[in-house]
């Protein structure tokens, strides 16, 4: 049985295409800033789509020595940088983490797949050697990201990488909250990471899921998703532990829900989406009329947005006041394993500031998506409780609930 131990968020670290750090990220969200640009990390001449949410403002030298940069893949760099920012925000040092009952839990989709891509390029160019092979082999496995991070920050508890695709960040946050509730840890670093991958970009293009220039969630004329990259890490603590050190309490994790569609590898199932949201509401003991905001999965594809809207309307359609629902993927693109972690940061900041980020690029309402998608401009609105939706390929769904911290 899970204890009544309460879990709070005390630190936020962000690497995104619209800003490094939580403050730049939040300003970008409220400004409706687009992080979509021409891709420069690999050649897109053979693709119809040529844009993505590339993080062009990240400088590894701000976080790593030269020798570290050479041996760390981009995913590991993003993850470690996000952890460092989150710990700094939480006013926790690595030495403090080493003395705590601490754990690390991240999620990803492709991990450092570009390590294999680079290795293949060297083979094709006839420049492969033993050193390059060893480096690629050590960078590629997803577990190496958390292993490198745990080593750097002296995390001595459970260290876990969850590869549940586009819901991985939420799964990691949910797992981390359980570790605290079950008294397996006092502090957990939880989030998600994914860098740009040519493999993933090719795959989404081959299934004709990529929009040509922009992401338009819930718009009638939406043309697909835009691939992106980034990382986000939340510092989770037990309420008692956070209060003992007089930490800033951003929000509380009220609960979460998970479900599996068992339906199709790529097509979402409304029944599964309804189930995961109801599971989250039940676990959090939140009545329907008390939920103030939904951070949508909102990829901008026809099938996903229609299914998510149908699920939301089935659960919340009888409310007297429509619930605000926005998708920040309209600004960031779909950052895969980092997506729900970045969206979790957006939820936490919405709860803290009582402001809801917009869904940009919205022009034409879709009768199949009859929701209040907070079009184009942010909204001042009381946000006591927020739901963060994430729905992954294979039907892996996870929703995490955040609320203001009520002092008992």
Active site residues: 166, 297, 334
Distance CA 238, CA 217 (A): 36
Distant-in-sequence contacts of 241-247, Cβ < 8 A, 24+ apart: 241/100, 241/186, 241/187, 242/8, 242/10, 245/91, 247/8, 247/10, 247/90, 247/91
| CA 76 to chain CA mean position, Å | 15
Alpha-carbon distance values, 97 to 2, 12, 137, 159 (Å): 24, 16, 29, 13
Q: What is the DSSP string of 66-91?
A: HHHHHHS-HHHHHHHHHHHHHHHHHT
Q: Which of 44, 14, 175, 206 is nearest to 104 (CA)?
A: 175
User: What element of type H or E holds 293?
Assistant: strand 293-295
Which DSSP string corresponds to 187-254? Answer: EEEEEEEE---HHHHHHHHHTT-B-SS---TTBTT---B-BB-EEEEEEEEEHHHHHHTT----EEEE
- 114-150 as b/e: b if 16+ CB within 10 A: bbbbbbeeeeeeeeeeeeeeebbebbbebebbbbbbb
């Amino acid at each position: 049985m899970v204890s009544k131990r309460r879990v709070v968020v005390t630190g936020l670290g962000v690497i995104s295409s619209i800003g490094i750090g939580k403050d730049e990220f939040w300003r970008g969200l409220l400004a409706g800033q687009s992080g979509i640009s021409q891709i420069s990390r690999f050649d897109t001449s053979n693709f119809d789509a040529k844009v993505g949410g590339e993080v062009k403002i990240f400088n590894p030298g701000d976080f790593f020595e030269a020798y570290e940069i050479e041996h760390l893949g981009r995913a590991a760099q993003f993850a470690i940088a996000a952890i460092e920012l989150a710990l700094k925000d939480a006013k926790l040092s690595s030495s403090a983490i080493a003395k705590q009952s601490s754990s690390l839990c991240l999620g990803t989709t492709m991990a450092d797949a570009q390590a294999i891509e680079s290795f293949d390029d060297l083979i094709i160019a006839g420049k492969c050697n033993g050193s390059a092979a060893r480096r690629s082999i050590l960078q590629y496995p997803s577990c190496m990201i958390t292993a490198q991070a745990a080593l750097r920050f002296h995390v001595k508890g459970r260290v876990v990488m969850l590869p549940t695709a586009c819901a991985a960040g939420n799964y990691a946050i949910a797992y981390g909250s359980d570790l605290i509730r079950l008294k397996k840890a006092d502090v957990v670093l939880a989030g998600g990471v994914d860098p740009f991958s040519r493999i993933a970009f090719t795959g989404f293009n081959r299934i004709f899921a990529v929009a040509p220039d922009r992401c338009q969630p819930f718009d009638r004329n939406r043309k697909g998703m835009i691939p992106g990259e980034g990382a986000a890490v939340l510092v989770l603590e037990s309420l008692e532990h956070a209060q003992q050190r007089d930490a800033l309490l951003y929000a509380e994790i009220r609960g979460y829900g998970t479900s599996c569609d068992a339906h199709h590898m790529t097509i979402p199932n409304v029944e599964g989406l309804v189930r995961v949201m109801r599971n989250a509401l039940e676990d959090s003991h939140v009545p329907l009329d008390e939920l103030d905001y939904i951070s949508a999965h909102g990829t901008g594809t026809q099938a996903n947005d229609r299914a998510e809207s149908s699920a939301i309307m089935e659960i919340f359609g009888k409310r007297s006041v429509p619930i605000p629902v926005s998708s920040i993927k309209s600004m960031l693109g779909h950052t895969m394993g980092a997506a729900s972690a970045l969206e979790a940061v957006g939820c936490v900041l919405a709860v803290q500031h009582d402001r809801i980020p917009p869904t940009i690029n919205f022009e034409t309402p879709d009768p199949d998506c009859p929701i209040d998608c907070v079009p184009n401009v942010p909204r001042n609105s009381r946000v006591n409780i927020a739901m963060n939706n994430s729905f992954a390929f294979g039907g892996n769904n996870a929703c995490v609930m955040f609320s203001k911290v009520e002092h008992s």
